[in-house]
Amino acid sequence: GSGVVAATPEQGDVEYLAPISIGGQTMNMDFDSGSSDLWVFNTQLSTASQTGHTNFDPAKSSTFKLIQGASFSISYGDGSGAAGTVGTDTVNIGGATVTSQAIELATAVSSSFVSDTQSNGLVGLAYSKLNTVKPTQQKTFFDNAKSTLAMPVFTADLRQAAVGAYTFGAIDSTRFNGSLTWAAVNTTNGFWQFSSTKFQVGRGSTMNIAGGQAIADTGTTLMLANAAVVNAYYSQVTGAVNNQTVGGVTFPCNAQLPDLAVDVGGTYMATVRGDDINFAPVDAASTTCFGGLQAISSNLQIYGDIMFKSQFVAFNGGNNTIGMAPH
């Protein structure tokens, strides 16, 4: 079969939420192609942490089973984290169903999750080797579903301030322009990782970053690229400054932002629209805006939602490739 769910942006496109059913209980979740744990807000959490959230209640699911002695503990690149116990239950995402999916029940979550009341947990969609459950590592929903899906793929159609979709088991060609270009994925680190060594700012010359690598990460809001690329990009933006106070590059909100093309696996140049790189105002008068493209010091670049707004992405778990097309 296949499954399709709406991907709805939170205010400011900070993250994209989609509904899943766990033992018949519907939870709006943050789908994250950069991690591999499915964890939920639930009735085991302190009442303070539960406040404002939809909390999964294992006692109300006739199909929930605890995995005795299992636990999880995960921390993310933004410093947030969660930890708790583990069970299994039936998970249905838009019609795609897994009967014995590991459900990680948080008993502790960091403050940024508590305050983000629209999100009730994460659905990890990276490779299962990154799953944190101990003593027995568990599989992701996609890994479990793959063999029963019409095609071993899932896709992300994320849009600027508009509802898109996550699809499992099918590629809906009405969601992108032209045809997908596919690139090899390096699965060594458990991410949807590919080489990314060439960059083009606007119509300028192409610059090369030797050994550049990147991951496609729906759970990261921004696009984090090599500092030399970021500097070259913003050197083309009048008034762009590295503003330590707000924590990154800002520019006048009416600045003309060039497109940025980034290499995907040496086979494709993914164009990110300049308009999608204008992320959000930092002041009430919307005079100064924060860049959606920011620098990362590690040589593993993180192409997050800013890229997904310009590129439709297909993740092929059958042959470990990633497909992209403009949308």
Ligand X SMILES: Cc1cc(CN)n(C)n1
Query: Which residues belong to the active site?
Result: 32, 217
Q: Is 78 in the site for ligand X (CB under 6 A)?
A: yes
DSSP states along 232-248: HHHTTSTT-EEETTTTE
Q: Is the dihedral of CA 256, 14, 139, 92 positive or negative?
A: negative
Q: How far is the CB of 105 from ligand X (least distance, A)?
A: 17
Q: Is 217 in the site for ligand X (CB under 6 A)?
A: yes
Q: Which of 269, 262, 265 is nearest to 320 (CA)?
A: 265
The window from 27-35, 176-184, 257-265, 280-288 that contacts ligand X (CB under 6 A) reads 27-35
Question: Among residues 34 and 169, whose Cβ is nearest to ligand X?
Answer: 34
Q: Tokens 């322009």 label which residue? A: 177
Q: How far is the CB of 37 from ligand X (least distance, A)?
A: 10
Q: Is 80 in the site for ligand X (CB under 6 A)?
A: yes
Question: Among residues 34 and 164, whose Cβ is nearest to ligand X?
Answer: 34
Out of 2, 25, 90, 220, the only residue in the binding site for ligand X (CB under 6 A) is: 220
Q: How far is the CB of 199 from ligand X (least distance, A)?
A: 22
Q: Is 34 in the site for ligand X (CB under 6 A)?
A: yes
Contact criterion met (CB below 8 Å) for 84 and 39: yes
Name the token pair of 193.
């990782």
Q: From the DSSP assignment, how many helices (H) and strands (E) are in the chain?
A: 6, 26
Q: Is 77 in the site for ligand X (CB under 6 A)?
A: yes
CB neighbourhood size of 11 (10 A): 8
Identify residue 27 by its one-letter amino acid code.
M
Q: Is 32 in the site for ligand X (CB under 6 A)?
A: yes
Question: Among residues 16 and 176, whose Cβ is nearest to ligand X?
Answer: 16
Q: How far is the CB of 137 from ligand X (least distance, A)?
A: 18
Task: Specify the DSSP class assigned to residue 13.
Answer: G
The window from 21-29, 75-83, 84-92, 173-181 that contacts ligand X (CB under 6 A) reads 75-83
Question: Among residues 33 and 316, whose Cβ is nearest to ligand X?
Answer: 33
Number of residues that bind ligand X (CB under 6 A): 10
Out of 76, 107, 300, 320, the only residue in the binding site for ligand X (CB under 6 A) is: 76
Question: Among residues 111 and 179, whose Cβ is nearest to ligand X?
Answer: 111
22-25 CB contacts, 8 Å cutoff, 24+ apart: 22/56, 22/61, 22/89, 22/90, 22/91, 22/101, 22/103, 23/56, 23/58, 23/60, 23/61, 23/62, 23/63, 23/64, 23/89, 23/90, 24/61, 24/90, 25/54, 25/56, 25/57, 25/60, 25/61
Question: Among residues 194 and 251, whose Cβ is nearest to ligand X?
Answer: 194
Q: Which residues contribute to the site for ligand X (CB under 6 A)?
A: 32, 34-35, 76-78, 80, 217, 219-220
